[in-house]
A = this chain, B = another copy of it.
Amino acid sequence: MQLLKDRILKDGRVIENRIIKVDNFLNHQLDIELFNEMGKEFKKRFVSKEITKILTVETSGIAIACITAQYFNVPVLFAKKHEAANLGTDVFESDVYSFTKDKHSKIRVDKKFLDYQDKVLIIDDFLALGNAVIGLADIVNQAGAELSGIGIVIEKGFQKGRKAILDKLDVQIESLAIIDSFEEGSIIFSE
């Protein structure tokens, strides 16, 4: 998606040839106009799929999931990662390892919001090692629901997330921008 790639080139900052910081439009300050263009693009890429629910994980997936949901006319469900006073014990739960934070955490979804009739689109802001997406897909599977697709804003193509997912699941993955490499602080996208 050219608009997004242009924005990453303009506003993204590469740190230590490893991390891409996009906090001025994607995960701290949020450019809702751009999010709407991304939502339209996800709809275009998954237009043939039947979707009943969008699933994401807190925190930074929520905003893009909500704006995208408007183009699918479905509710959003977000898995809780942090201590949540309002979450009961009757939950689907999966373990997710975060490489950037070097810790494991549980993600949880109340069982009453996902069942065998659901066709789920997973949305997240980043795909790197794929652990968050695999955890979400595990929850979809526990619910007996169908995984209709995975939509990612920025994929680190040089990491093994896509392969890790496709080794486990036969699913359509769409990333709006795929970074092939960082070369001396600049960003190289895959075509």
Contacts and interface: CB of A to CB of B under 8 A. Distances in A.
Interface of A: 19, 21, 23-25, 27-33, 35-36, 58-59, 62-63, 66-67, 69-70, 73-78, 80, 82-83, 85-87, 100-101, 109-110, 112-113
- Determine the main DSSP class of A at the interface with B: mixed
Contact of A28 (B21, B73, B86): B86
A28 B83 CA distance: 13
**Identical copies in the complex:** 2
A62 B58 CA distance: 10
B100 A30 contact: no
Contacts of A75: 25, 29-32
Q: Across chains A and B, which 9 residue pairs bring their CB atoms closest together, nearest first?
A: A30-B76, A32-B69, A29-B113, A63-B66, A85-B100, A58-B59, A29-B77, A62-B62, A66-B66
Contacts of A69: 30, 32
A64 to B, nearest CB: 9
B32 A86 contact: no
Nearest to A101: B85
Given A28-B78, A28-B113, 4 more contacts: A28-B80, A30-B75, A30-B78, A59-B80
